[in-house]
Amino acid sequence: MKKESLRHWMACLVVVCVWHGPALAAKPQYEVDVRADVKIPMRDGIKLSANIFLPKADGKFPVLLSRTPYGKGSTKNGQARFFAARGYVFISQDCRGKGASGGDWVPFMNEAKDGRDTHRWILDQSWSDGQIGTAGGSYVGYTQWMSAPGSGKYLKAMLPVVPLVDPYSDIAYVGGAYQLALLMGWGAGVSEKATVRGWSNDRWDEAFRTLPLCRWDVAIGCKVPYLRDWVTHWRYDDYWAGSSIRDRMSEITTPVYVVGGWYDLFAKSALDHVNTVRTQSQSPEARRHQHVLMGPWTHGISRDGKVGDLSFGKDAVIDLTSISAKWFDHWLKGKETGAKKWPPIRLFVMGRNIWRDEQQWPLARTNYTPYYFHSGGSANSLHGNGTLGTKKPNFEPIDRYVYDPERPVPTLGGCNLGGCPAGPRDQTRVEQRDDVLVFSSAELTRELEVTGPVKVVLYAASSAPDTDWTAKLVDVYPDGRPINLCDGIIRARFRRSADKPTLIEPEREYRYEIDLWVTSNVFLPGHRIRVEISSSNFPRFDRNPNTGHAFGVDAQVCTATQTVYHDTRRASHILLPVVP
């Protein structure tokens, strides 16, 4: 991150939502009245600042609420004025400790109660008709989810864009590995201490390598308690439970429309949590009206169809304003906009680059197909002899490589945010490395669609008492470009349980399941399917020091010799959700 200030880096993290299109050209129904910096009291006496945009007219109106840590914006807020002119009260509120709001800023910890207190205040206002909708992206999506349980009597509709839902599993720890670049970059960026100091660092690579992780904040020159808390609480405990609704999904009785992206860091979460509400909600209507739109995007909607190294065409650009207007007009105003008939799932199928409607996730017609790893004992790098196919291996030699935490495999694309490239990227530079095993299929003679959750089953051993295993699904184009689709990681000590980690015995073989999250892609004729196996993806994830010590305390790291098996008894493979 050369020559970039933290403030500039943070600007890249704020979700990009495209508010444009035909809906904006609609004739306004009302002039707009703006009340700036309205102080809304919370139950503990703290007051949160909000800008309120109202139709200039007598009467009561439905309310749209957006609660944000990124600044509530000015009185010229185009989105707010658009909806106010359509007959809504739009409220943009600074989260606790941010902007002009009182209190202390601690990410995730106050959004449930502050959201509900804000709801109660809205319901008491003379201009409120007793109906609330919520909108916004990323962390603003999280503030929506946190206040949703038990609010269905007045919370009539939600529209979270690329949202997180559960901080521990969505943002902090994936497969037991710490999302380093995100938490340390974003965490420092939203810290009042770091931003007030105007901290600037053009040596991000060096900062990410700071050890021990429990004192990472020394790299930015000031102590930020919650940065240390995130490392200290490396297992799901009461600290994280207070910021989660994972056990309250049945209490969500509100129609929800989620916009997600295949290359977004919350791609899996967007589908999983809506699915959970769809199956668990106490409300039959809410179960019927949980919707997800998944596009070929990173953390925000592409303005021109270009994402990473690929262009998905003009059809990959959506008019979010029009979608939002139809969604809220139906649920808060009772208008016939077609929203009630929208499909549960609308997904963009990459490769073909088309939109398709589906009724469930995963797709009922999915044929889960194992593609097995093969080699002559030298699958190291794209120049090795690793192959991939549906035939189960017989007796084959093992593959080995050395994982050196001082020389980790760099993050090159994928579902990440800040600190490293995101989206679909050419993987050639990564695949040149000897500590990356590469298994490639033959050229395809016909289309193969892979849509759904993807996982790798890996039989492997390590010389270390704890280590990481990574896997990546890649689409190899006819010109040789390997473009990543999805990837995953598992920390060995979390192989059996996310709550009860256990170390491994060095040199002993174990079975690992690596969750590669989700994708929808058609491998076209002339393309090849490829899988990469390694032990690091840095700086998206922290480097496993291979010591087996408690998380975050190591100041030194060790190398590990890694062994991957693919034979009759230990048939390592990727399980692809093939769609006929």
Q: Where are the alpha helices (DSSP H) in 303-393?
A: 320-333
Q: Which residues are catalytic?
A: 138, 264, 299
* Residue 234 domain flag: yes
Q: pLDDT of 214-225, one tens digit each? A: 988 888 777 888
**Cα dist. 382→385, 437, 566 in Å?**
8, 8, 18
* Residue 27 domain flag: yes
Residues 130, 215: one domain? Answer: no
Average pLDDT over residues 291-315: 96
Residues 133, 228: one domain? Answer: no
Average pLDDT over residues 182-186: 89
* Residue 107 domain flag: yes
- Which residues make beta-bridge pairs with 307? 310
Percent of the chain with pLDDT over 70: 94
Residues 382, 433: one domain? Answer: yes
**Residues whose CB falls within 8 Å of the CB of residue 45, separated by 6 or more in sequence, listed in order:** none
Q: Residue 13: which pLDDT band, with cuts at 50, 70 and 90? A: very low
Give how many domains the chain has, as a whole number. Answer: 3
Judged against a pLDDT cut of 50, whether residue 5 lies above it is answered with: no
DSSP string spanning 209-274?
A: T-SSGGGGGGGGTS--HHHHHHHH--S--HHHHTT--TT-GGG--S-EEEEEETTSTTHHHHHHHH
Which strands, in side-by-side order, build the sheet including 345-349? Answer: 32-41, 47-55, 89-94, 61-68, 128-137, 155-161, 256-261, 290-295, 345-349, 354-358
What does the block give as tokens for 403?
A: 């994982």
Last residue of a domain, one of 309, 328, 358: 358
pTM of the model as a whole: 0.95
Q: pLDDT of 91-107, one tens digit each? A: 999 999 999 999 999 99
**Residues whose CB falls within 8 Å of the CB of residue 444, separated by 6 or more in sequence, listed in order:** 523, 524, 525, 526, 527, 528, 529
* Residue 300 domain flag: yes
Residues 443, 468: one domain? Answer: yes
What integer best gives the mean pLDDT of the chain? 93
Residues 46, 144: one domain? Answer: yes
Judged against a pLDDT cut of 70, whether residue 21 lies above it is answered with: no
Cα–Cα nearest to 351, from 522, 484, 476, 473: 522
pLDDT of residue 14: 47
Judged against a pLDDT cut of 50, whether residue 4 lies above it is answered with: no
Residues 549, 513: one domain? Answer: yes
Asked if 148 contacts 154 with a C-beta cutoff of 8 angstroms, the reply is: no
In this structure, what CATH number is given to the domain that contains residue 36? Answer: 3.40.50.1820
Q: Residue 26: which pLDDT band, with cuts at 50, 70 and 90? A: low
Q: pLDDT of 326-369, one tens digit each? A: 999 999 999 999 999 999 999 999 999 999 999 999 999 999 99
pLDDT of residue 202: 64
Judged against a pLDDT cut of 80, whether residue 10 lies above it is answered with: no
Judged against a pLDDT cut of 70, whether residue 388 lies above it is answered with: yes
Residues 447, 570: one domain? Answer: yes
Q: pLDDT of 246-291, one tens digit each? A: 999 999 999 999 999 999 999 999 999 999 999 999 999 999 999 9
Residues 96, 185: one domain? Answer: no
* Residue 409 domain flag: yes
pLDDT of residue 194: 53
Judged against a pLDDT cut of 90, whether residue 293 lies above it is answered with: yes
Residues 347, 475: one domain? Answer: no
pLDDT of residue 6: 46
Asked if 483 contacts 469 with a C-beta cutoff of 8 angstroms, the reply is: no
pLDDT of residue 417: 87
DSSP string spanning 32-87?
A: EEEEEEEEEE-TTS-EEEEEEEEESSSS-EEEEEEEESS----TT-HHHHHHHHTT
Cα–Cα nearest to 156, from 168, 144, 166: 144
More confident residue, 171 or 14: 171
Asked if 195 contacts 169 with a C-beta cutoff of 8 angstroms, the reply is: no
* Residue 564 domain flag: yes
Q: Residue 418: which pLDDT band, with cuts at 50, 70 and 90? A: confident
Cα–Cα nearest to 403, from 446, 458, 463, 357: 463
pLDDT of residue 220: 78
Last residue of a domain, one of 239, 270, 300: 239
* Residue 344 domain flag: yes
User: Hey, what amino acid is at 561?
Assistant: T
- Which residues make beta-bridge pairs with 310? 307
**Cα dist. 92→70, 88, 118, 467 in Å?**
11, 13, 11, 45
Last residue of a domain, one of 358, 380, 401: 358
Residues 378, 254: one domain? Answer: no
Q: pLDDT of 557-575, one tens digit each? A: 999 999 999 999 999 999 9
Average pLDDT over residues 412-437: 95
Residues 163, 183: one domain? Answer: no
Cα–Cα nearest to 131, from 286, 342, 325, 330: 330
Judged against a pLDDT cut of 60, whether residue 406 lies above it is answered with: yes
| Distance (Å, whole) CA 506 – CA 122 | 59
| Distance (Å, whole) CA 458 – CA 444 | 24
Q: How many CB atoms lie within 10 A of CB 120?
A: 13
* Residue 1 domain flag: no
In this structure, what CATH number is given to the domain that contains residue 379? Answer: 2.60.120.260
pLDDT of residue 380: 98
Note down the domain range covering 23. Answer: 6-168+240-358
Q: Residue 189: which pLDDT band, with cuts at 50, 70 and 90? A: confident
pLDDT of residue 85: 97
Residues 87, 188: one domain? Answer: no
